[in-house]
Amino acid sequence: MLAVPAERVGGLPLDGSTWAYEVKWDGMRVLADVQDGRVRLWSRRGNDVTVAFPELAGLAAAHADVLLDGEVVVLRTGVPSFSALAERFHVRDARRAAVLASAAPATLIAFDVLRLYGVDLTGRPWQERREALERLGPSGTAWQLSPVYDDGPALLDATRERGLEGIVAKRRASPYREGARSGDWVKLAHQRVESCVVGGWRAETDDAGRVGALLLGLWSDGPGRRVLRYAGKAGS
């Protein structure tokens, strides 16, 4: 299920009694399917990305049968680092994935549950699904629960101050509409603009013929001259 940008529906819904508000996490959207003692991770495009995130294998031991919707992130001081996560997207070699997981472990931030012990929950209201998700409880470092708030403007201000991507408003009575972009979920992202210098590029991990990320720089004032400093990678 996908969110509609707030500007398309006249702005962010503000009624906390009928809407709930969550942080918009800057990571990789996945479905985590736990069955028969194993976990499989599916990307938004339906690709199996399980091998890329070996640190999430612990989900299989924590819950017998569940389908979670969430965002895989790499956290830096509590804030997702998209550049730290970007090189994990296309990894298909288990040994390479293990090295990357050790250097920058990922976490699944779960915000919905679509199946629990064989029961399809997609037709039930968001509020009921959320209560079922909270009863599961997070499992160590494998996954965390995305917090929910009832004051959208306050959360919007807090995410801006913390450098987070934005927020998502979800109608408490809404079912889960798989594959649809629904007005029952409304997203509002902070817009930040920066002029960068492209200094080079890195190939995709598993395909040297494709661009995986641009290497960016920023001008800053040094002693008596301007200095071009490395700013990071952009892989989206």
Exactly one of 24, 170, 187, 233 is catalytic; name it: 24
Compute the half-sphere exposure of residue 107: CA atoms within 13 Å on the CB side of its CA. Answer: 20
User: Any catalytic annotation for residue 233?
Assistant: no
- Residue 59 makes CB contacts below 8 A (sequence gap 6+) with 32, 34, 39, 68, 108, 139, 142, 143
Identity of residue 6 = A
What's 144's DSSP letter? E
User: Pick from 183, 188, 185, 176: which is nearest to 68 by CA?
Assistant: 176
Identity of residue 189 = A
Contact 128/116 with Cβ under 8 angstroms? Answer: no
User: Cα-atom radius of gyration of the chain, to the nearest Å?
Assistant: 19
User: Pick from 112, 116, 99, 107: which is nearest to 139 by CA?
Assistant: 107
Catalytic annotation, residues: 24
